[in-house]
Amino acid sequence: MYDADNLYNDEEEYSGPSRSQKKRDMIALQKLAEKLMTLGPELIKKCGLPDYFIEEVRDAMAIKSHEAKRRKVQYIGKIMRDIDPQPLIDFLEDIETGNRADNLRFHALEQWRDRLVEGDFSVLDEILEKHPKADRQRISQLARNAKKEKENSKPSKSARALFKTLRELSE
């Protein structure tokens, strides 16, 4: 018999994510695969994913044809549905955060070097405060030499040596 009450019943059973949501999830996995493909082969090995998956990513990196690469990325996205993507997401975030931290550290070292070369030796106290084992005399000498080289328009051999010394201190 015809039941009018069931026809307009708003309480439907949950049958899982919609097709649109599944497609959004699939595209997100493909974008993760594309990000992974931008890394070097050594970094890909460190991502902690299964070997067969890493081989597929390496194969995709070797493909030159745009359409073939697109299909391969889709295939990698399909493989990723069976793998927990969270470790990969964490791995990629760690790489991006690490790169930012390295850039900030190098920028700070460059500022120290530039201030020393300009003759601002007050930064030397700052350096020695952060790195008590630093050789004050060597840093001062390199800074003076770099300043002379700059004034005489010579190659900045001492400035590079000063930066290298500062970098070694920070590591």
In the structure encoding, which two tokens stand for residue 123, read together? 């930064």
In whole angstroms, how far apart are CA 155 and each of 135, 139, 143, 145, 147?
24, 18, 14, 11, 11
Q: Is the pLDDT of residue 122 over 70?
A: yes
Q: Distances in Å between the alpha carbon of 117 and those of 45, 104, 125, 145?
A: 42, 20, 15, 8
Residue pLDDT, tens place only, 70-106: 999 999 888 888 888 888 888 888 887 777 777 888 8
d(CA 85, CA 104): 29
Question: Would you place residue 8 in the very low, low, confident or very high pLDDT band (cuts 50, 70, 90)?
Answer: low
User: Given a cut of 70, is residue 3 above it in pLDDT?
Assistant: no
Q: Which CATH architecture has domain 105-170?
A: Orthogonal Bundle (1.10)
* Conformation bin of residue 134: beta by default, left when phi > 0, alpha when psi is -120 to 50: beta
In the chain, CATH 1.10.60.30 covers 105-170
Q: What pLDDT, on the 0 to 100 scale, is given for residue 68?
A: 93
Please compute the mean of the pLDDT values over residues 117-144 and round it to a whole number.
Answer: 87
For residue 29, how many other CB atoms are within 10 A of its CB? 21
**Residues 27-70: tens digit of each pLDDT:** 988 898 888 888 877 888 877 788 888 888 889 989 999 999 99
Domain 19-86 has CATH 1.10.3470: no
Integer Cα distance of 19 and 39 in angstroms: 31
| CA atoms within 13 A of residue 42's CA, in its CB half-sphere | 1
Q: How many CA atoms lie within 13 A of 107 on its CB side?
A: 6
